[in-house]
Every structure is written in structure tokens, then in C-alpha cells.
A and B are shown apart, each in its own frame.
Chain A
């Protein structure tokens, strides 16, 4: 997959041929998938309704206020980005921009000319500028406000120096330094384009939305629990296959499964292992499965526990935990073992690395070499609710305890609710903790930088940093600060014209973190959806989806 990814990115950076080049990309990356070209402009008649059930209500439709999947699922139908993910793939294709060129610190994008917003206004470069300013510029009259703006303002546009409308159809983005992930950031939901005219009404966009996307907002009920979208007849791409989409919030996992198997719901997500079994056995529905762009791990806190500062101890734990059993039995096969932070479908994933095998003898001898032959005690902090990357945290923690007991390490399990857990681990109070990460933009930087880079320089000759240090990146839950690794990640971020060289650095960075093992590498979980047989055209999109405009219901 990373080869495909490299290939496509290279094609892109060279692509000045615009639309056609972008469309041919799917072919380029060795796929027979036809959905790559969304700009065919051919229009079929939209008919039918897709009923989509998920676990919670949409909090808001305001792109700049949301960071939860339940909101993003809906805004992805309404708003378009300048560039977008190819449905079901971790690749970029033309969105509202048909061409782009990266030169040093600037990206110049050329917009489509035939695009109108749902309010009838034409899309121009100044719409993107206004959207950008609303999200990030406190000077702007219609700035969203520091309290409301999500962390995606920084995640997406943090490296941006300026955004300008050079002319009606040209957007120029200048970054503070050469910043390779920038283009992918533009495909993230938070970079969706709002209408300048709407922005400058100063209205709220929590329960209203004016985008350029394949669907328009038709009805918003019960604070986002029930939402109806209608096909946009003037959509610049192919007209959606279905006339309506209804999003329904159904909180209880098992109830959601029942609604799929015996009621009027066509697609569900948020499926636990038990639900997956039920869907698998039921008639008329199918369980769709795909490796997600997610990583689950157990971080060992080097600052808190001196034992973990010894690489051999960390390696020993990787040998001692039977991750295959966790993946196969506890996660019921809906996940695969992990050898590194970057998941297989993300470019930069090092294919030469294998997961640590389950080897108690190796673990014991490593512990002896490290001087911990008699073992030691530590506390493993975990959340209790299933997360996409660790579907059954409590059982997995039990398994870790049992396995480590075999090599003389006594683990105490400490369970916390999600919010308490986050506050606790962010403060670095844990000995070790379970955690995980979902891809935002599908770039390797999006895994290695937030999860394993401390964000600050570590003291000389010390490969860990303090959580309480000024500027420490609190998502790095192990406190690990390896100079060599940090250099590679920092350098890779600035390589914009040579993807092979960039990916080579990520491969090396992954090798280092695999060997140094600041985590016990656990799993890459699958994404699961339940889909009625009457549905066609649906595919799981680990980033940028769901692409419901391609879906039809018999």
C-alpha cells in the first residue's frame, strides 16, 4: 500500500494536467476501482433513501466547532474540500481544486469553475480565504472565537503563514516552513469550504449548512439526532445515486444491530465484536470489514518509571505479551498485530518489520540482562469503553497482566472513564497506559509526530523528556525522546519534492521506534460496517467518508 501511496503522491506533485491527471490516478495506483473519477459530470436520476444509524447525535454542523466522528460523517456529505480522499483509499484526488503546484513553501491551487454553493452563489477563491480566516484569524470580524475553534485549527492550518486569493480561481497557501503534509491537511474535513456570503451574515452554522457537496441539509431534528439530507441537483460531480440520506442516532450497540437486521436501517457503524457476530449470522445483511487507519498500543512511561528507561525491559514486555492472542481471541479477529505506529495502509509503513513474536524465554533473558530478573511491579491504566483502536480494553488489560505475570512482572490494572483517563495520562501520571490513534489526514507524520515526538529537545544523552516541561507534546504518552528518531521525523516533514526520500526517512523512523520499543505494539483494528443486501456502492472509507453519494438502495 505504501508503494501505491508514494506513487500517487508523486503523480500528484507532478500533476499540472489537472482533472484528467487526477482521475487517472486511481488507474495509476493499480486499482480497477471506478469511483476515482467523481468529476464525470454525468447525471443520473437520484432516487430512494439511505437510512444510516450511528451511535450518537451530531453535535453541530459547524466545521470549525466539531472534532467528533458523528458530526464529521454528516458534514462530509455537505461540504467539499479543495482536495479530497479517493473513496475507500488513503489517496488524494481533485476536489474543489483541479490542479495544484507545490513550490518551496507555497502551494498554488486552481479552483473548478462550475461550482455553486447550495445557496446559489458561485465558488471563488475568496470563499476559501474567508473560511480560513473564520477558523484561525482573531482579527477577522467573523472569527469563530478561541473558545469555539477546535484543535483542528492548529492541526490543519497551524503551519500556514498566509492564505490568499490571487484571483477568482486561484488560492495560494504559504507555509511557515517547507511542510510536506500540507496538501493532505487540505483534504481533512476541517478544511471544508464554506460560503463567504454565509459567513459574513454572522449567523450560526450548527444546525444549518451551506456547502458545495453532493447533499444539502434538508431537515435537522432533536438536536442532531435525526438529520435528513437531500441530493444536490447542481452538484459539480456525479449526481448522488440516492435522493435522500437520513442519519439516525441509536445509542445502544445491540439495538443498532437489531435496527439493521430487522428494521428499516440500511447501514450502521460502531459495531462491537458481539454485534459483528450477529450481523455475520443474520440474513439479508452483510458485515463489511477493512483494516482501519488506526493504531492501538500500550505506552510505557519513561519519565515515571525508571525500569522503562531500559530498552531491554521495553523489548522484553513486547516479547512477553501475546498480542496475537489479544487480536485473535479478545478482538475476535477484527484487528491485526502491530509492529509500528504507522498502520499498513499509510505510506511510510515499514513492511520489513514484523510484530514482536510471543517469546517468554526471550523476555526472561532480556529482563535478566537488564538486571530485572526478579521482575518488578507497575500499574497499567486503561479506559473501559471500547475505542476504535482497542475494542475490548478491559479484557486486553487482563491478558497483559496474565502474560506479564509469567515473566515475573506484577501488573495492577487501574480503570478510568474516558475523560478522567485522558486527563490522567496527559498529565503523565500513569506508569503505563493503553492508548490509540485515528488518522486525520492519512500521512505518516500524523502518527509519528503527535505520538512519539516529544515536541521539545531532550537533555543530552537522555532519551526521555518530562511531561511537565514547557511545550511538551502530551500525546506522546511514553515520554520517549529519541534524538535520531526526532531528527528523521522533523526532516521528513520538510521534504516536499522527493516522496521516496521522505518515505525512506519514515521507514527508518519506524525501524528505530520498533527496536527501541517505547510502546508494546498492540494492534491495527478493522473498521466494521453492517450493510443491508439492498445497498450497493457502499465501501468503507477509513478517511474522508462515508461516500454516500455513491450508494444506492434497491
Chain B
């Protein structure tokens, strides 16, 4: 029962957090000194036209009226209409809804890359402390943390796409494939998920699936390098600490083999701090999405955010930042909950 209350409590705590974020986003855009009515009216508009738009959209209302309206709209997932990128069209339905799965897919595969390589490397490093393997792993981790995406991305592209020619450098899938829904499930027509690797399978197009995976490898690696480095370091130090605990010595003393001791008793306990890192990293990864998407020509939330900032399309900027923030908080929530399962003491 306790865990249920814990989850509910954490969910309720989300509300003030989200209100806080919305307020900051609203404030930044409104204090920025930009005149949204002028942006919307476009070039060559007369002062009269600008005034009309201003009063039509309520930009001349007092700021607190605008603020309450904004909050109530956002709480219903209504982010308003785009000014520039898709004038007059809803920001969520026409612009962001499509992009969200793109970025989520990228982040998931990036994280997968980080975890699948980071955890074993960390464990290896800990078990063989101060050996050559350990040193190489640690130096590698240091490099991974230090290398920025805008450098590692183009470098991998040059190596794998331009020189070796084995992997594609950009997009989500070969140009020839048009992945379109709906897909049939026992006679029901269901919409696609927007995740390319899932959708191609749902549609049963194996060639397209292979193409989608090929296209994900480089960006996922670029996004995952940092996370891999951090996870392996964390895994190593956590493992080293656990190894010194009494229960490990007890396990050894009663004659249990090295492998079982490490994997059964060591790994599970060492995982607790690593889970936190994985969660936080997932959030950071969303930030990395802006760079990765740009470098690899993938049009997800990150690219849209940058385009919207450049074009002065404030409702889109507002909405994209909010969506990023919501994702971040949701991931953190998930981490907290996972954590509480691994270590029930957290709930108290």
C-alpha cells in the first residue's frame, strides 16, 4: 500500500512543478520584448492590421488575464496556434505531435546504447580494478564525457558514412520508404506509434525496419557516448563500494564463486545509484537531441525548437519547452518509483 501512496504523492507533486515551469516559460517569452502581433501580421503590415490582430488574440489584455488564459489552455494540452512555421495551425496537432515520438525514439536508443555498454564496462572495470582493462575503460569514459556531440557526430558521419560508406548519415529511413498508417490488428485499424523501428515492424516491412535501425545507429551512438561514459564510471565506483560490504565478504566466506557473488549480490545493490544516473541522463539526452537531430538531419522536437526560436514563433517555442520539461519530470518520476522498488527504504 505504501508504494501506491508514494506514487500518488509523487504525481501530485508534479502539478506545482509543471505550473512553475509554465510560469517561467510564459514570463521569459512575455518579458522578451517581442511583439507577437507584429510577427503574425508579417512584413508590410500596417499598424492598423497589427492592432486588429492584437485585440483579436487578446494581446492587449492585462498580463494576468493572459497568464490565466495560458495556464488553462495548457492544462488542456492546447498550446495555441503557430505564428510563423505553420501560421494559424494548432501547435500541438500540426507541429509537435509528430515530432515527439521522433525525439523519444532517439533518446530511448541512445540510452539503450549507453546502458548496454556502460554497465558491463563499469562492472568489468571494477572487477579488474587497476588492471589495463580498467585504465582503458576509465580513460575512455573520461573521453566520452568530454567529447561534445557537435564534434563526435560529424566525426562518426565522416568515418562510417563518407569513408567506409556502411551507415547512412542522416534522416530516419531511406528516402524510398513511406511509412504510413493505419496498421491492421485482428481486423482493427490502429494508428501508428511514430516510432520508426516499431511502425515498420507493425506494418511488417522488414526491409524498412532494417533501414530504420541502420539510420538510428549513428545518432544513438553519438547520444549514448556521454551516457555510457557516465554510467560506466558510476557503475565502477558503486561496484567497488559494494564489493567492500560485509555481505559480500560473507558470501565469499561461505564459499560462493566469484561470478555468482558479483552478479547476484554485488550487481543488484550496486545498481541503485546507477538507476538515478540513468534517469537523469535520459533528461540530459533530450537536451542532446537538439544537437543530434541537427547534425543528423532528423526533424524532431529539438530541430523544431531551434527553427521556432529563429523564426520568432513563440507559441511553438513555449510548447516545445513545456513538452521537454514535462518529459523530464515524467522520467524523473519513473526513476523515483523504480528506485523505491529497488530500495524500499526510500519510501519512508
> Is B299's CB under 8 angstroms from A419's CB?
no
**Smallest CB gap from A219: residue in B:** B178
Instruction: Please give me the residue from chain A that is nearest to B94 by CB atom.
Output: A223
B72 at the interface (CB under 8 A from A): no
Identify A419's interface contact among B39, B171, B307, CB under 8 A: B39
Known contacts A251-B303, A417-B310; A246 and B175 CB within 8 A of each other: yes
Per-residue interface assignment for chain B, residues 103 to 146, with 1 indicating a CB less than 8 Å from any chain A CB and 0 otherwise: 00000000000000000000000000000000000000000000
Query: Is B169 an interface residue, CB under 8 A from the partner?
Result: yes
Residues A262 and B162 in contact, CB atoms below 8 Å apart: yes
Bound CA–CA A263/B178 (angstroms): 17
Contact of B307 with A251 in the complex, beta carbons under 8 Å: yes
A258 in contact (CB, < 8 A): yes
B44 interfacial by beta-carbon distance below 8 Å:
yes
Q: B297 at interface (Cβ–Cβ under 8 A)?
A: yes
Taking each of A258, A418, A422, A475, which has the highest tally of chain B beta carbons within 10 Å of its own beta carbon? A258
Cα distance A259–B311 in the bound complex, in angstroms: 25
Please give 15 more A-B residue pairs, beta carbons under 8 A apart, in addition to A59-B85, A417-B312, A419-B312: A219-B178, A221-B178, A223-B94, A225-B299, A226-B178, A228-B178, A249-B299, A250-B170, A251-B294, A255-B170, A259-B297, A417-B310, A418-B311, A419-B84, A475-B44
B157 at the interface (CB under 8 A from A): yes
- A59 to B95 Cα, complex, angstroms: 11
Contacts of A151 in B (CB 8 A): 44
Cβ contact within 8 Å between A223 and B180 = no
Complex-state Cα separation, A419 to B34, whole angstroms: 11
Contact check, A259 vs B169: say whether CB atoms are below 8 A apart.
yes
Question: Can you list 23 pairs linking A and B with CB atoms under 8 Å apart?
Answer: A51-B176, A57-B299, A59-B85, A147-B88, A151-B44, A221-B179, A222-B299, A223-B95, A226-B178, A246-B176, A250-B297, A251-B303, A252-B295, A255-B169, A258-B157, A259-B170, A259-B171, A259-B297, A262-B169, A263-B169, A419-B84, A419-B312, A426-B44
Most buried by B among A151, A249, A419: A419
In the docked arrangement, what's the CA distance between A423 and B38, Å?
8
| 23-82 of chain B: CB within 8 A of chain A | 38-39, 43-44
Residues on B with beta carbons closer than 8 Å to the beta carbon of A249: 299
Known: A255-B295, A259-B297. A49 touches B169 (CB 8 A): no
Select from chain A the residue with minimum beta-carbon distance to B86.
A59
- Find out whether the CB atom of A223 lies under 8 angstroms from the CB atom of B295: no
Contact with B along A127-151 (1 / 0, CB 8 A): 0000000000000000000011001
Q: Is A351 an interface residue (CB 8 A)?
A: no
A264 beta carbon closer than 8 Å to chain B: yes
Max chain A Cβ within 10 angstroms of own Cβ: one of B84, B85, B161, B175: B175
Q: Is the CB of B39 within 8 A of A251?
A: no
Q: Give the distance to chain B from A203, nearest Cβ to Cβ, in Å.
A: 16
Residues of B within 8 A of A184 (CB): none
Residues of A within 8 Å of B176, CB to CB, are 49, 51, 246, 264
Q: Which 10 A-B pairs have the closest CB atoms?
A: A255-B297, A422-B43, A419-B312, A51-B175, A255-B170, A250-B297, A258-B169, A219-B178, A264-B175, A474-B44
Q: How far is the CA of A117 from the CA of B139 in the complex (A)?
A: 66
Within 8 A of B (CB), among A74-94: none
User: Which of B170, B174, B180 counts the most chain A CB atoms within 10 A?
Assistant: B170
Please give the number of chain B residues whose Cβ is less than 8 angstroms from any Cβ of chain A in the complex. 35
Q: From residue B236, how far is it (CB to closest CB) to chain A in Å?
A: 36
For residue A33, give the distance in angstroms from its CB to the closest CB of chain B: 30
Check: A420 CB closer than 8 A to any chain B CB.
yes
Q: How large, as a class, is the contact surface on chain A?
A: 35 or more
Q: Using an 8 Å CB-CB cutoff, how does the interface string of A363-403 with B read, 1 for contact, 0 for none?
A: 00000000000000000000001000000000000000000
Cβ of A51: which chain B residues have Cβ within 8 Å of it? 175-176
Asked if B165 is an interface residue, CB under 8 A from chain A, the answer is yes
In the complex, what distance in Å separates the CA atom of A255 from the CA atom of B95?
22
Residues 150 to 164 of chain B near chain A (Cβ within 8 Å): 157, 161-162
In the complex, how many angstroms separate the beta carbon of A257 from the nearest chain B beta carbon? 10
Interface residues of A in 216-234 (CB under 8 A from B): 219, 221-223, 225-226, 228
Q: Is B92 an interface residue, CB under 8 A from the partner?
A: no
Docked CA distance A246–B173 (Å): 13
Q: Does A248 contact B (CB under 8 A)?
A: yes
**Is A265 in the interface zone, CB < 8 Å from B?**
yes
- A-contact 0/1 string along B301-316, CB 8 Å cutoff: 0010001001110000
Query: In chain B, what residue has the closest Cβ to A65?
Result: B87
- Let me know if B226 is at the binding interface, CB within 8 A: no
Q: Does A9 contact B (CB under 8 A)?
A: no
* A419 to B43 alpha-carbon distance, docked (Å): 8
Chain B residues with CB below 8 A from A417, complex form: 310, 312
Closest CB-CB distance, B151 to chain A, in whole Å? Answer: 14
A258 touches B44 (CB 8 A): no
Q: Which residues of B contact A222 (CB under 8 A)?
A: 98, 299
B168 at interface by CB-CB < 8 Å: yes
Contact status A251-B297, CB under 8 Å: yes
Of B161, B175, B179, the contact of A262 (CB 8 Å cutoff): B161
Residue B339, interface by CB 8 Å:
no
Least Cβ–Cβ distance between A92 and chain B, in angstroms: 28
User: Does A256 make an interface contact (CB < 8 A)?
Assistant: yes
C-alpha spacing A225/B294, complex, angstroms? 15
If A223-B98, A263-B169 touch, does A252 touch B161 (CB 8 Å cutoff)?
A: no
Minimum C-beta distance from B102 to chain A (A): 9
What's the minimum C-beta distance from B338 to chain A, rounded to whole angstroms? 33
Q: Which residues of the partner chain B approach A423 to less than 8 Å between Cβ atoms? A: 38-39, 43
Name the CB-closest residue of B to A261.
B162
- Name the residue in B94, B296, B297, B311 with the highest tally of chain A Cβ atoms < 10 Å from its Cβ: B297
Out of A219, A225, A246, name the residue touching B180 (CB < 8 Å). A219
B residues in contact with A255, CB < 8 Å:
169-170, 295-297
* A222–B192 CA distance with the chains assembled, in angstroms: 12
List chain B residues, Cβ under 8 A from A228: 178
